[in-house]
Amino acid sequence: MLSERRYHITVCRGPECGDRRGSRALYEAFLASVAAHRLAHRCQVRWQSCFGRCTQGPNVLVREVTPEPPGPTPENGAAASPRATALYNAVDAVNVDEVVSQHVGAGVVVRALIQPPSLLGSRALSPSGSRR
């Protein structure tokens, strides 16, 4: 049942997302949005040090952590339950309510906020343009 689903919202605080792109404000916005949508009973906002997608930050992983129900498993013939998990990229404060209401509230991934891996690689550029 959808109302029983549980999620972790994990905000990157790595040196690129955190120091350069202000993920602290994003973290606070997620806390406020989860509370405003009355979803705190089934959603935890957490930190992560780096997802390896630094050039596309701030990055936020929303992962369903609903425990598997007891009983049949995919290995013994039961269908797997779909899990709504996504790594959102270049997240801005204006996106927070949409992610919380759609993903956590309705179990629907916000595909418009997902970018393919960067052609620039995962490491941030220094101010001079060289790889750090």
The piece of 8-16, 30-38, 79-87, 96-104 that touches ligand FES (CB under 6 A) is 8-16
Taking the C-alpha atoms of residue 11 and residue 91, their distance in angstroms, rounded to an integer, is: 10
Q: Taking the complex as a whole, how short is the minimal distance between the CB of residue 68 and ligand FES, in angstroms?
A: 29
Q: Taking the complex as a whole, how short is the minimal distance between the CB of residue 108 and ligand FES, in angstroms?
A: 24
Q: Taking the complex as a whole, how short is the minimal distance between the CB of residue 27 and ligand FES, in angstroms?
A: 12
CB 30 within 8 A of CB 96: yes
For 23-57, b where at least 16 C-beta lie within 10 A, e where not — what string? beebbebbbebbeeeebeebbebeebebbebbbbb
Which two tokens mark 30? 């997620």
**H-run or E-run covering 23:** helix 23-36
Which residues make beta-bridge pairs with 46? 10
Q: Taking the complex as a whole, how short is the minimal distance between the CB of residue 17 and ligand FES, in angstroms?
A: 3
Please select the residue that binds ligand FES; options are 9, 11, 17, 99, rule is CB under 6 A.
Answer: 17
Residue nearest to ligand FES (CB): 14
Please select the residue that binds ligand FES; options are 8, 15, 109, 125, rule is CB under 6 A.
Answer: 15
Q: Which residue's CB is nearer to ligand FES, number 5 or number 89?
A: 89
Residues contributing to the site for ligand FES (CB under 6 A): 12, 14-17, 50-54, 57, 59
